[in-house]
Amino acid sequence: MPSKANYSDHNTVLEDLKKEIRDFVKRRKWDKFHNAKDLSEGMVIEAGELLEHFLWKSARESQGYLRNQKNKDRVAAELSDLLILAFNFADRFHLDITRSLRKKLALLERRYPAKKVFGCARKYRPL
């Protein structure tokens, strides 16, 4: 198993991340604050902080913004805040992230068949 310094998406198990977050929260005795409402609100707030990096920027400017490593690191930190809350929520309420994602992707595959929506960004309507 790699050291924590060498962890990446390629060699990390989701359950390990959930346990690491659980232990972090437990060591600070914060679990009493982590109810469904507050964790959900936290995710929305962190999503807003992520979005703030792109406020008033065009799509092209946003792409350019992420070419700068400092900006990319700041954006990654905001995304991490959001993911920590999401993984904490999933762990606390016994949600299997992988199963949920795969189930949702299967639903989206049926809702948005590639042959019918290829290159189209419209919101779902019966196709």
* DSSP string of 36-91, one letter each residue: HHHHHHHHHHHHHHHHHTTTT--HHHHHHHTTSHHHHHHHHHHHHHHHHHHHHHHH
Largest CA distance in the chain: 51
At residue 9, the pLDDT reads 84
Residue 66 lies inside a defined structural domain of this protein: yes
> How does pLDDT run across 65-124, given as a tens digit for each residue?
999 999 999 999 999 999 999 999 999 999 999 999 999 999 999 989 888 888 888 776
Spell out the long-range contacts of 66-71 with Cβ–Cβ below 8 A and sequence spacing 24 or more.
Answer: none
Judgement on whether residues 64 and 105 belong to the same structural domain of the protein: no
Residue 5 lies inside a defined structural domain of this protein: no
Judgement on whether residues 50 and 29 belong to the same structural domain of the protein: yes
**Residue-range definition of the domain harbouring residue 125:** 98-127
At residue 126, the pLDDT reads 62
What are the Cα distances from residue 80, in Å, to 21, 42, 68, 116?
12, 12, 18, 34
Residue 21 lies inside a defined structural domain of this protein: yes
Our count of domains for the chain comes to 2
Residue 36 lies inside a defined structural domain of this protein: yes
